[in-house]
Amino acid sequence: MVMKVRLHPRARRDLAEIRDYLRENGGPASAERVRRHSKERIERLGRHAELGIASSEPRIRVLSPTRFPDRIYYTVIPIPPKYGPTIRGGVV
């Protein structure tokens, strides 16, 4: 089952800051590579919420870095079946 992924406002700000930093310091191509990679990882969470590992906080899971150093912290929040389960996450 595919779940809806909602980014926390802070996660959106974090992603924008990462993009801006990379544009300034690594160039537009670098910023675009990281943006695509982050988007793919977040979309993958919608298909496989169990990808991340449990953290010290019971409800929070962590999707560890792969190509880039940023971790994605997220929580799976069950909501009424009418809407389906939701994943909320952030990037650190």
Encode pLDDT of 20-48 as tens digits.
999 999 999 999 998 899 889 888 888 88
Tell me 11's DSSP state: H
Instruction: Tell me how long the chain is.
Output: 92
Specify the pLDDT at position 58.
83
Main-chain dihedrals φ then ψ at residue 72, nearest 5 degrees: -115, 120
3-class secondary structure, 58: coil
Main-chain dihedrals φ then ψ at residue 56, nearest 5 degrees: -70, -20
Measured CA to CA in angstroms, residue 23 lies from 4, 11, 19, 38, 40 at distances of 29, 18, 6, 15, 20
Judge if pTM exceeds 0.85: no
- Report the CATH number that the domain containing residue 63 is assigned in CATH: 3.30.2310.20
3-state helix, strand, coil in the chain (%, to 5): 45, 25, 35
Question: Looking at the 3D structure of the chain, how many domains does it have?
Answer: 1
For residue 62, what are the domain limits? 4-91
Q: Which amino acid is it at 69?
A: P
